[in-house]
A and B are shown apart, each in its own frame.
Chain A
């Protein structure tokens, strides 16, 4: 069998990374109280909610600024600004150009938006690996960021959160974590979708578990294991896409990971499902405390459906960069609980 592992001709790694999570939190108990009564089973504790003046552009700018600080580079050296999301503020007009200009990136840059449900951010990351790995650019910025949409009363309303992360790929010798290889695995699976001009997504509930999430995550991760000759024991930490607490916990266990390898990157109890932001944000939480030599496995999942899996090895440079910007945990702890009525205003659902 040929290996499905991808590796660029020039060795690359994470030169800088940055997180962003808005400060408002809606407890799942508030959603339960509204629609199911106090006996509702809650998939997470609380989810993050963006403020009225925030959107994927503003959140990407803040995460991007944190990534530039950690990379310690002049932003004019960045050759691509790619934003993966399913909640871009414009249907037509790229988020990427606004973010690029706000970060002080040169006008001679690639800039575009990526779309693949919750995998849009890691798809942008794969492209950033290719662009830097080919030598077409010294640095490339990939962002996964979302303000997830959920119809009031839908099961998704408990978890649809807001947040994400930015990753700058660059030369391996300047990296915080060197890329060992990646795998992308996709199939045509109708588990979740939103048609043009529809405000809220639909989901085929029978499709969301086995044939969608678990199949793609497991396949991409085990292909990485096979190609690199690794197993769960070789990784200090793993982060999987996290639509709730249960799915990533079970998928990780099935891949042979112990709960302590999963814990640091599993944020859904605190902030919900940040969709295109989720896997990359979990990765930033791991990098914030990573030690040189540690291996980290990151596996995204996007409905529609597919997974990207990445194997990274942390370098000595991590220690000098970890505290060069606000940490993911600081954003998570900067929490202001709100009630369902305030949430309705912040999500602009009052005028419907």
Chain B
């Protein structure tokens, strides 16, 4: 992943910004040029709320370059509350607590670091949702 490519994806990675079809309101993440539902080609940006649940998961023991220090770590397909499935790392979670249906929320964390003197890449991960406070 080179630096200019990373920089162009920042709205996606920092704000979970996808698109919404202006014809049928279908919401997509990551952004697409053509609606996967109705085929229209007119989109507006849409920021997802960040809530969702684990649809499926796995554990990574042999991570790709830049992710070594986090291993082993869980990755999941998260079903966002607005519909799309997103592949992401889970964080702040014990191995035994990872389960299908787990309520999660988006957080921004260090995603990769190629070297100690290079750029740090930040992006979305998901962690078990902290329930709303009660009085």
Contact = CB atoms under 8 A, between A and B. Distances in A.
Answer yes or no: do A and B interact: yes
Interface stretch (A48-56, A231-239, A245-253): A48-56
A54 B10 contact: no
A58 B108 contact: yes
Interface residues of B, number: 22
A51 B70 CA distance: 10
Given A101-B14, A102-B15, A53 B133 contact: no
Contacts of A52: 69-70, 110
B109 interface: yes
Interface stretch (A111-119, A120-128, A134-142, A323-331): A323-331
Given A23-B92, A98-B122, A104-B47, A323 B133 contact: yes
B14 A330 contact: no
B33 interface: no
Contacts of A53: 70, 91, 109-111, 125
A58 B122 contact: yes
Nearest to B135: A323
Given A57-B122, A58-B109, A58-B122, A51 B92 contact: yes
A336 B128 CA distance: 14
Interface centre among A51, A53, A323, A326 (most CB of B within 10 A): A53
Interface residues of A, number: 26
A90 B120 CA distance: 9
A58 B107 contact: yes
B134 to A, nearest CB: 8
Q: Is the contact region of chain B dominated by helix, strand, or loop, or is it mixed?
A: mixed
A10 interface: no
B128 to A, nearest CB: 9
Nearest to B13: A102
A256 interface: no
A101 B132 contact: no
B130 interface: yes
B61 to A, nearest CB: 16
Given A89-B120, A330-B133, A62 B107 contact: yes
Contacts of A290: none
B133 A54 contact: no
A312 B102 CA distance: 41
A90 B91 CA distance: 23
A334 interface: yes
Interface in A65-122: 89-90, 98, 101-102, 104
12 contacts: A23-B92, A53-B70, A54-B110, A55-B120, A58-B122, A90-B120, A104-B15, A323-B132, A326-B133, A330-B133, A331-B130, A348-B69
Given A23-B92, A323-B132, A348-B69, 12 more contacts: A53-B111, A54-B109, A55-B120, A58-B109, A62-B107, A90-B120, A98-B122, A102-B15, A104-B15, A323-B133, A326-B133, A330-B130
> Which 4 interchain pairs have the tightest Cβ spacing?
A53-B109, A102-B14, A53-B110, A327-B133
